[in-house]
């Protein structure tokens, strides 16, 4: 069958809502775009462990510490599912990690901001996991089978992460004046960076048109951002928090919140590697990888030994 015919059938299969599986024919650009997006998603999960890891030893009590530890371990698990799912497309774990370590691959912009107070743990769970979940619920419908199935499981865990974050925020807001002020101050820092997690809009979202046609993505970046804002503003209001946007206004006709233009210069600067924490995050990842070499070697030696015993 020639390439044109294969492509036609591929598109028809997607349009019928059928999943593409690892051994199915797929255009090279579909494979490449998915490896890029899924590996960057996996990198975000493991780099995303770092800002929260910063607070494990300083959690305010044992219960909070146990919850935070469990959540961070979940993120490692998400990274594992996603790296494994990306491997089904022919990418190797080493290639993907090399690209993260030498700066060729991106990870979510949000993890280049520092976590300065305990209230930031609330904001990461409520806003960052909340935004991640809105995006990932949509991705459960992605056309690539292994990615779609990974998303189903990840979303269940993200829902728990989102609630534990909101519970931290709710507790601070019901506490002393200082605690409530701490929550408000954290919201002031995290609100706009959380909105840029959904990626740029219009022509700056270079991958969107083709990704939507192939149903890699099911909704564009701006629609998901708007969904997140509509969902989150009432949650802030319920706790007496003020969204730090003077232009935030409910539009009854369009049933959505209008909001200020985002600072795209800052966003592009952060994803180019110049955010407040980029260098520290990549260094921490590289150090962890180097220090884990003996574990990988031990696992390989064990696997070899088992193989020779079976043979
Ligand atoms: N950060 O054409 P588009 C989490 C880049 S998981 C950095 O719109 P696309 C869990 C983009 O890569 C959070 N770069 O791109 C957790 C492209 O550059 P490239 C991660 C960004 O791929 C919670 C360029 O801009 N989630 O948080 C960002 O169609 C708490 C043009 O953009 C996912 O990765 C950004 N925010 O749409 C863990 C979900 N936005 O690659 C720990 C899967 C855009 O050509 C604690 N990914 N760029 O060099 C997606 O849905 C999509 O990739 C988007 C971007 C929507 C992120």
The answer to whether residue 306 scores a pLDDT higher than 80 is: yes
205 pocket-lining for ligand 1 (C-beta < 6 Å): yes
Q: In which band, very low, low, confident or very high, does the pLDDT at 23 lie, cut at 50, 70 and 90?
A: very high
User: Ligand 1 in contact with 41 (CB < 6 A)?
Assistant: yes
Structural domain harbouring 46:
3-310
Q: How would residue 1 be classed by pLDDT, with cut points 50, 70 and 90?
A: confident
| Backbone dihedral region for residue 171 (phi beyond 0: left; psi -120 to 50: alpha; all else: beta) | alpha
- Sign for the CA dihedral angle at 117, 269, 230, 220 comes to negative
| Per-residue pLDDT band at 311 (split at 50, 70, 90) | confident
Question: Does ligand 1 come within 6 angstroms of the Cβ of 109?
Answer: yes
Residues 199-226: what's their mean pLDDT?
A: 98
| Residues 120/186, Cβ–Cβ less than 8 Å | yes
Residue 44 Cβ inside 6 Å of ligand 1? The answer reads: yes
Closest approach atom of ligand 1 to CA 217: 51
pLDDT for position 97: 97
CB atoms within 10 A of CB 248: 16
CB-based contacts of 30, cutoff 8 Å, min separation 6? 10, 20, 214, 216
Ligand 1 binding pocket mutation candidate from 164, 207, 224, 275 (most atoms within 8 A of CB): 207
At residue 73's C-alpha, the angle toward residues 85 and 84, to 5°, is 10
* CATH number for 284: 1.20.1260.10
pLDDT of residue 29: 98
d(CA 127, CA 138): 17
139-183, pLDDT tens digit by residue? 999 999 999 999 999 999 999 999 999 999 999 999 999 999 999
User: In whole angstroms, what is the distance from residue 130 CA to residue 28 CA?
Assistant: 33
What token pair was written down for 114? Answer: 């520092």
What pLDDT, on the 0 to 100 scale, is given for residue 310?
Answer: 79
Q: Which of 35, 40, 262 most suits a substitution to test ligand 1, by most atoms within 8 Å of the C-beta?
A: 40
Q: Strand, coil or helix: what is 284?
A: helix
Going from the Cα of 237 to the center of ligand 1, the distance in angstroms, rounded, reads 28
Average pLDDT over residues 239-246: 98
Which residue of 67, 99, 106 sits with most ligand 1 atoms within 8 Å of its CB, as the best mutation to test the pocket?
A: 106
Residue with CA at minimum distance from ligand 1 atom 30 = 129
Query: What separation in Å is there between the alpha carbon of 110 and the centre of ligand 1?
Result: 10
Identify the burial level of 73 via C-beta atoms within 10 angstroms of its C-beta, where 0-12 means exposed, 13-18 middle and 19 or more buried: exposed
What distance in angstroms lies between residue 108's CA and the mean position of ligand 1's atoms?
5
The pLDDT, as a whole number, for residue 130 is 98
What is the structure's pLDDT at 33?
A: 98
- pLDDT above 90 covers a percentage of the chain that reads 97
Mean pLDDT of 190-209: 97
Question: The whole model's pTM is what?
Answer: 0.96
Q: DSSP string spanning 190-221? A: HHHHHHHTT---GGG-TTHHHHHHTTSSSS-H
148 CA → ligand 1 middle, Å? 16
- The pLDDT value given to residue 309: 85
Phi/psi for 256 (5° steps) reads: -155, 160
How many domains in the chain?
A: 1
Q: Is the pLDDT of residue 211 over 80?
A: yes
- Give per-residue pLDDT as tens, 76-123: 999 999 999 999 999 999 999 999 999 999 999 999 999 999 999 999
Instruction: At 244, list the tokens.
Output: 């730090």
pLDDT band, residue 207 (cuts 50/70/90): very high
Check if 241 has its Cβ closer than 6 Å to any atom of ligand 1: no
Q: Which atom of ligand 1 is nearest to the CA of 221?
A: 56
Q: What is the pLDDT of residue 161?
A: 97
The whole-chain average pLDDT of the chain stands at 97
**C-beta of 194 in contact with ligand 1 (< 6 A):** no
- Mean pLDDT for 59-66 is 97
d(CA 247, CA 258): 7
């Amino acid at each position: 069958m020639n390439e044109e015919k294969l492509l036609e059938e591929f598109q028809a299969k997607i349009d019928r809502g059928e999943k593409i599986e690892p051994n199915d024919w797929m255009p090279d650009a579909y494979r490449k775009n998915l490896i890029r997006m899924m590996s960057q998603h996996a990198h975000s999960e493991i780099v995303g462990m770092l800002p929260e890891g910063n607070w494990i030893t300083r959690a305010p009590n044992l219960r909070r510490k146990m919850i935070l530890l469990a959540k961070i371990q979940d993120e490692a698990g998400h990274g594992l599912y996603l790296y494994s799912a990306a491997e089904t497309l022919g990418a190797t774990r080493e290639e993907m990690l090399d690209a993260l370590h030498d700066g060729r691959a991106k990870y979510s912009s949000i993890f280049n901001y520092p976590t300065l107070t305990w209230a930031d743990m609330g904001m990461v769970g409520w806003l960052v996991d909340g935004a991640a979940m809105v995006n990932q619920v949509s991705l459960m419908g992605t056309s690539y089978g292994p990615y779609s199935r990974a998303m189903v499981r990840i979303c269940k865990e993200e829902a728990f992460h989102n609630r534990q974050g909101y519970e931290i925020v709710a507790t601070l807001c019901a506490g002393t004046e200082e605690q409530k002020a701490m929550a408000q101050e954290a919201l002031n820092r995290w609100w706009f960076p959380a909105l840029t997690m959904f990626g740029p809009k219009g022509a700056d979202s270079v991958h969107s048109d083709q990704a939507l046609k192939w149903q890699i993505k099911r909704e564009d970046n701006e629609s998901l951002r708007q969904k997140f804002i509509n969902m989150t503003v009432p949650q802030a209001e319920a706790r007496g928090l003020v969204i730090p946007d003077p232009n935030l206004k409910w539009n009854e006709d369009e049933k959505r919140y209008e909001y200020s233009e985002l600072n795209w210069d800052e966003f592009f600067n952060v994803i180019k590697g110049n955010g407040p924490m980029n260098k520290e995050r990549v260094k921490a990842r590289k150090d962890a990888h180097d220090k884990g070499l003996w574990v990988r070697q031990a696992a390989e030696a064990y696997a070899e030994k088992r193989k020779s015993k079976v043979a």
